[in-house]
Amino acid sequence: MARSYVHEARRRVGPKRNRIVPVIERLAEEHPDAVIALRFRDELELLVSVMLSAQTTDVSVNRVTEALFRKYRSPEDYLAVPLAELEQDIRPSGTFRQKAKNLQGTMRLLLEEFDGRVPGTIEELVRLPGVGRKTANVVVAERGAVQGIVVDTHVRRLSQRLGFTQKEDPAKIEQDLARLVPRPDWGRFPHLLIWHGRRVCNARRPRCEDCVLTDLCPSSRV
Ligand code: SF4
């Protein structure tokens, strides 16, 4: 019964290949302000912000980094303080012990292998402690060299609801999306889903009645 309902819903909206561009266009119109919410001024601040944003909100990260970036301006600055001091400086961002350890490990590797600069490829970035593919994807995208599609909790949920993927694993979801989303849209696509996820397609109670995608979404309740 459930299976035939899903089948029927997919038939109603049509194949995903035909829906992807209208979905992007409508979301772009609906959320013209859909850009990264983290505040940073250079590539090092970008990397640190994204590392701190794991399992917390961008708003809390911005609160922490306002003071943090006044005190720590270079990779050396992060290594010049005891680990406990860095932990206290990033404490409100959550899981601060692990994050502080990763930050110092990352700064060490930046100095040892990358001349103190943030590297430009995903392959290099994921070698840094605490930097996974998602973080690396965000960093390269914000620097204007998109190499993949960021998959966070919102991107995963919306991609599944919109019938763009049936996978659970972020790396596999990214592969599905990379086959579907036109390459020039790889950078903005995750931001559009993230903002739509926050504002309309919430995890617990999607507001389908206020959604611009109802006729394109197999999970629509209206
Ligand atoms: S129609 Fe509903 S489930 Fe589909 S994207 Fe919109 S809010 Fe989410």
CB hemisphere CA count around 152 (13 angstroms) = 23
CB count, 10 Å around CB of 164? Answer: 23
Q: Which atom of ligand 1 is nearest to the CA of 222?
A: 1
37-75: pLDDT as tens digits: 899 999 999 999 999 999 899 999 999 999 999 999 999
Residue 7, pLDDT score: 80
Task: State the average pLDDT for the chain.
Answer: 95
Residue 1 pLDDT greater than 50, yes or no: no
Is the CB–ligand 1 distance for residue 52 below 6 Å? Answer: no
Q: Which atom of ligand 1 is nearest to the CA of 206?
A: 7
Residue 4 pLDDT greater than 90, yes or no: no
Q: Cβ distance 206 to 161 under 8 Å?
A: yes
Q: Which atom of ligand 1 is nearest to the CA of 219?
A: 3
Residue 166, pLDDT score: 96
Out of 58, 77, 152, 176, which one is annotated catalytic? Answer: 152
Is the CB–ligand 1 distance for residue 44 below 6 Å? Answer: no
Is 152 designated active site?
A: yes
Q: Which amino acid is at 69?
A: F
Is the CB–ligand 1 distance for residue 213 below 6 Å? Answer: yes
Residue 140 pLDDT greater than 50, yes or no: yes
Residue 9, pLDDT score: 84
83-139: pLDDT as tens digits: 999 999 999 999 999 999 999 999 999 999 999 999 999 999 999 999 999 999 999
Is 167 designated active site?
A: no
Q: What is the mean pLDDT of residues 168-196?
A: 96
Is the CB–ligand 1 distance for residue 194 below 6 Å? Answer: no
CB count, 10 Å around CB of 101? Answer: 15
pTM equals: 0.83
Residue 3, pLDDT score: 62
Instruction: State the Cα–Cα distance between residues 45 and 1, nearest whole angstrom.
Output: 51
Q: Which of 199, 204, 213 to mutate to test the pocket of ligand 1 (most atoms within 8 A of CB)?
A: 213
Q: Which residue has the higher pLDDT, 33 or 212?
A: 212
**Cα 10-1-197 angle, rounded to 5 deg:** 45
Residue 74, pLDDT score: 98
The terminus-to-terminus CA distance of the chain in angstroms comes to: 19
Q: Cβ distance 99 to 47 under 8 Å?
A: no
| Confidence class for position 158, pLDDT limits 50, 70, 90 | very high
Instruction: State the Cα–Cα distance between residues 33 and 28, nearest whole angstrom.
Output: 9
- Three-state SS annotation for the chain: CHHHHHHHHHHHHCCHHHHHHHHHHHHHHHCCCCCCCCCCCCHHHHHHHHHHCCCCCHHHHHHHHHHHHHHCCCHHHHHCCCHHHHHHHHHHHCCHHHHHHHHHHHHHHHHHHCCCCCCCCHHHHCCCCCCCHHHHHHHHHHCCCCCCCCCCHHHHHHHHHCCCCCCCCHHHHHHHHHHHCCHHHCCHHHHHHHHHHHHCCCCCCCCHHHCCCHHHCCCCCC
Is the CB–ligand 1 distance for residue 211 below 6 Å? Answer: yes
Is the CB–ligand 1 distance for residue 220 below 6 Å? Answer: yes
Residue 11, pLDDT score: 85
| Confidence class for position 2, pLDDT limits 50, 70, 90 | low
